[in-house]
């Protein structure tokens, strides 16, 4: 019978044997899969595992700093690379969803390659690929592992990066990955995180992306997510987030009419992201969250809640 403890034990032994004294590079995304893969490799080869965590400027509020801290706390040999400006610059003026995904994917590869080259004599690239990733198409993805994965899919890594690929989770499903992480003592905070798309807030800002819009959406998202946690709702939801709509909606301030941003909140139940139902969040929670957002986030005067299921309405709006 499969148990997480036995999986950890045999996998760590196999990794030790396979990798020996070689150096390994791994891109951390902050998500469950790459974090658990990193922890397994760390157990096997310690600091010969070189982790790279890229800030694309489209992460949640304070996410880069806090997740980097958690990784260091876990003992991982990790380098945080803040490439926010480079991503925002490359995205300037782009409003097509697939165009944005392509730019984010390309810049990620550039930044990751630069960092990977600084690790001398690296022989392996580790990835947090799980079983369903190998079945589903990842072509639309812009996430760290997904980007490298799609490179990998089309016939290997860039020539100059002749790394062998190691994927310790490739036979596992998501719930098994969580159990493996728990058996290694990883925190529920990391293991229970909602899925988050590789292109991040970039595909939750409809239309073109600016630093100002990112800052607004980060505030809105943080109020929503912290509220879900405070109300004990976070773990009942598969995924939640906020979208910044390309709509200026009218409001009144005294006897003035103002035009400010409208945001949509989305929370869904799902088992695999392929289908999803909107979550029936308590009215009191929605009321409090909407008030908090409108009172605290300058530039937003209207909040709506998305009550559409997938199909046909995808989880993300872009």
Annotated binding site for ATP: 29-35
Among 90, 140, 286, 304, binds ligand XMP (CB under 6 A): 140
> Which span (32-40, 138-146, 243-251, 252-260) binds ligand XMP, by CB under 6 A?
138-146
- Closest approach, Cβ 234 to ligand XMP, in A, equals 15
Q: Give the one residue of 237, 273, 277, 286 binding ligand XMP; rule: CB under 6 A.
A: 273
Select from 45, 146, 220, 265 the one that contacts ligand XMP (CB under 6 A): 146
Site for ligand XMP contains 302 (CB under 6 A)? no
Please say whether the beta carbons of 202 and 106 come within 8 A: no
- Cα separation, 261 vs 299, whole angstroms: 6
Q: Is 144 in the site for ligand XMP (CB under 6 A)?
A: no
**Angle (CA) 85 116 133, round 5°:** 90
Q: Strand 49-55 and strand 164-166: pairing?
A: unpaired
Residue list, annotated binding site: 29-35
**Range 84-103, binding ligand XMP (CB under 6 A):** 101
For 118-136, give one letter per residue: b (16+ CB within 10 A) or e.
Answer: eeeebbbbbbbbbeebeee
Q: How far is the CB of 274 from ligand XMP (least distance, A)?
A: 7
Contact residue for ligand XMP among 42, 198, 223, 263 (CB under 6 A): 198
- The yes or no reply on residue 314 touching ligand XMP (CB under 6 A) is yes
- Calculate the CA 302 to chain-centre distance: 26
CA distance 41 to 125: 11
Q: Rounded distance, CA 239 to CA 63, Å?
A: 16
Q: Tokens for 177, please give them.
A: 């990955």
What minimum distance in Å lies between the beta carbon of 273 and ligand XMP? 4
Shortest Cβ 86–ligand XMP spacing (Å): 19
Interface residue with ligand XMP, options 166, 199, 222, 260 (CB under 6 A): 199
- 103 Cβ contact partners less than 8 Å away, ≥ 6 residues apart: 87, 90, 91, 94
Which of these segments, 19-27, 55-63, 140-148, 280-288, binds ligand XMP (CB under 6 A)? Answer: 140-148
Report helix, strand and coil shares of the chain as percent, to nearest 5: 45, 20, 35
Of 34, 35, 127, 239, the residue at the interface with ligand XMP (CB under 6 A) is: 239
Task: Compute the distance between CA of residue 71 and CA of residue 49 in angstroms, rounded to an integer.
Answer: 13
Beta strands at 78-82 and 49-55: parallel, antiparallel or unpaired: parallel
Q: Does 227 bind ligand XMP (CB under 6 A)?
A: no
Residue number, 56 or 301, with CB nearest to ligand XMP: 56
Residue selected from 86, 174, 288, 310 as contacting ligand XMP according to rule CB under 6 A: 310
Residues interacting with ligand XMP, by CB under 6 A?
101, 140-143, 146, 195, 197-199, 239, 273, 310, 314-316
């Amino acid at each position: 019978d499969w148990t997480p403890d036995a999986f950890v034990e045999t996998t760590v032994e196999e990794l030790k044997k396979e990798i020996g004294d070689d150096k390994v590079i791994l891109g951390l995304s902050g998500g469950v899969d790459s974090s658990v893969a990193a922890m397994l490799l760390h157990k096997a080869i310690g600091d010969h595992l070189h982790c790279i965590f890229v800030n694309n400027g489209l992460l949640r509020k304070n996410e880069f700093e806090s997740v980097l801290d958690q990784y260091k706390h876990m003992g991982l040999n990790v380098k945080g690379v803040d490439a926010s400006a480079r991503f925002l610059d490359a995205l300037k003026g782009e409003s097509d969803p697939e165009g944005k995904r392509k730019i984010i994917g390309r810049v990620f590869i550039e930044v990751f390659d630069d960092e990977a080259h600084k690790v001398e004599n690296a022989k392996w690239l580790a990835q947090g690929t799980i079983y369903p990733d190998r079945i589903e198409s990842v072509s639309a993805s812009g996430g760290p592992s997904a980007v490298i994965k799609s490179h990998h899919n089309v016939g290997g890594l860039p020539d100059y990066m002749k790394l062998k690929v190691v994927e310790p989770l490739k036979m596992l499903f998501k719930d098994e990955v969580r159990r493996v992480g728990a058996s290694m003592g990883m925190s529920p905070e990391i293991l229970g995180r909602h899925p988050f798309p590789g292109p991040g807030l970039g595909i939750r800002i409809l239309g073109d992306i600016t630093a100002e819009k990112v800052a607004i959406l980060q505030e809105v998202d943080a109020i929503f997510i912290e509220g879900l946690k405070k109300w004990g709702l976070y773990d009942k939801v598969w995924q939640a987030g906020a979208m910044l709509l390309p709509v200026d909606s009218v409001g009144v301030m005294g006897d003035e009419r103002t035009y400010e941003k409208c945001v949509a909140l989305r929370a869904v139940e799902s088992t695999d992201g392929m289908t999803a139902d909107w979550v029936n969040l308590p009215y009191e929670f929605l009321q409090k969250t909407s008030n908090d957002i409108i009172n605290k986030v300058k530039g937003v005067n209207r909040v709506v809640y998305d009550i559409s299921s997938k199909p046909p309405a995808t989880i993300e709006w872009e």
